[in-house]
Structure 1
Amino acid sequence: MGSSYPNRAAAGAALADALAGYAGRPDVVVLGLVRGGMPVAAAVARRLGVALDALVIRKLGVPWAPEVAFGALGPGGVVVRNDDVTARLEQGEMDGVLERETAELARRSAHYRGGRPPLALAGKVAVLVDDGLATGASARAAVAVARALAADRVVLAVPVGSGRALDVLVPLVDELVCPMRPPSFGAVSEFYDDFHQVTDREVAEALDVRPPGTV
C-alpha cells in the first residue's frame, strides 16, 4: 500500500480485497456514508457482489469552525458527541447546529432513499463504509444507527484512518478494516490524489449498483 489512493474507487477496491470473506453473502449489506463514502462503498459492493445502500450521517460542526465536529447525527434521532469539543461550547450554540442539521438530514434521507423503504438491518451484517476516519464522530453515529436497527454484526471499513479515532472505534464494532494507518494524520484528503466533493448525482449513480445476477 502506497502513501495515497488515486481516488475513492481505488480505495474501495483495496477495502474489497480486505473484505473478501463477505463476498456473495445474501445477509451482507454495504452502507455508504453519504456523500463521500458512497463511491467507496459502491466499489466494495460491486466487487463483493452484495447489496448496497446509503446511510445519511450529518456532522455537527462548531459554528465558527464547521470543519471541527462536536458530534454527529444519524437517522432515528441518533446523536453522538465529542465531549472534548462540547465542553468548550454553549448549549445554545450546539442547539442551533443540531436543529439545522436535523432538517438537512431529513431532507437528504428523503432525497437519497426516494421511494425505497427505510433501512432494515435485522439479521444482517452491516458493513459501514466511509472514505476515511478523522475524528470518528460520523462513524460512531453510523455504528449507533446500525446497532439501533438490530444488525447482527457491524463491520466498519475505511481506507485510511487516524490512530486515535481507530482506537475509539475498535471496541464499538465487531470488526474494523482499515488498510492504511499512517503514523501522522492531518486530514482524510491528504491520502487521496483525487478527493473532489462527491455530488448528489454521484450518490444516485452509486445506488444504481446491483450485485451480479440481479435485476
Structure 2
Amino acid sequence: ELAIGAVAGDGQPIMNWELVKSLNVSKDYIDQRVDEELEEIKRRRRQYVGELPGLNVGNKVVLVIDDGLATGYTALAAVKALQMLKPRKIILASPVAPAETVAKLAPEVDELVCLSTPREFYAVGQFYAEFRQVTDEEVKETISQLRVA
C-alpha cells in the first residue's frame, strides 16, 4: 500500500511530494488521476445519497473512521475537506496504523484513536482475516438503515 496522494470531494489533492519526486511522477499523470478520482467521488455520491444536500457538520463533532491507516493520505484528505466545513471537533479513529502515520495525523485532528501501532506494518490487510472492498450496495444499504434510525 503505497500512496503518492489522495483527494476528497473538495478537489484539493494531498500529495506525498517526496515520493512523487523520487518516483518521477509527472504533473500530467497527477492531474489526470485527480480528475478521475473526483469523477468517481461524484459517481459514488450520486449513487449513495442521490440529490440530497451535502453534510452540514458546522459546529458538530465529526467522527472519521478508517479500517486502517497505512500512509494516512486518504484520511488526511478527508480531514482537510472536513476542516473547511468548520466542525467543532474532528476525531479520527482506526484500529491499526504505523506509529509514524499516527504521529503525522495527530496534529491535524482534535483527537486520534488508534488501537494498535505495530512495528511490523506492511499493509492494512495483514491485520484482517478477510479484507475486501465494501460494495456500493453495502454502502447504500448502510446509509438507508441510518436514515431510518
Q: TM-score w.r.t. structure 2 length?
A: 0.91
Residue ranges of structure 1 left out of the alignment (5+ in a row) = 1-66
Listed as ranges, the gaps of 5+ residues in structure 2 are: none
Distance of aligned partners of 1:101 and 1:182 in 2 relative to their CA distance in 1, 3 Å threshold: same
Counterpart Cα distance in 1 of 2:106 and 2:30:
27
Q: Which one has more relative contact order, counting CA pairs under 8 Å at least 6 apart?
A: 1
> Pick from 35, 38, 55: which aligns with 1:102?
38
Partner Cα separation in structure 2 for residue 139 and residue 202 of structure 1 = 21
Matched, 1:183 2:122: no
Give a deviation string over 1:105-136, Cα, whole Å, max 9, x none.
11112211223221111011010011000000
Match of 1:84 in 2: 18
Q: Select the residue among 8, 11, 22 that pairs with 1:74.
A: 8
Q: Percent identity?
A: 37
Q: Which runs of 4+ in 1 moved over 4 A?
A: none
Return the alpha-carbon distance in structure 2 between the equivalents of residues 138 and 206 of structure 1: 21
1:82-109 C-alpha deviation (Å, 9 max, x unpaired): 1122223111121221121121111112
What is the number of equivalent residue pairs in this alignment?
147
Measured on the aligned residues, the alpha-carbon RMSD in Å equals 1.6
Structure with the larger strand share:
1
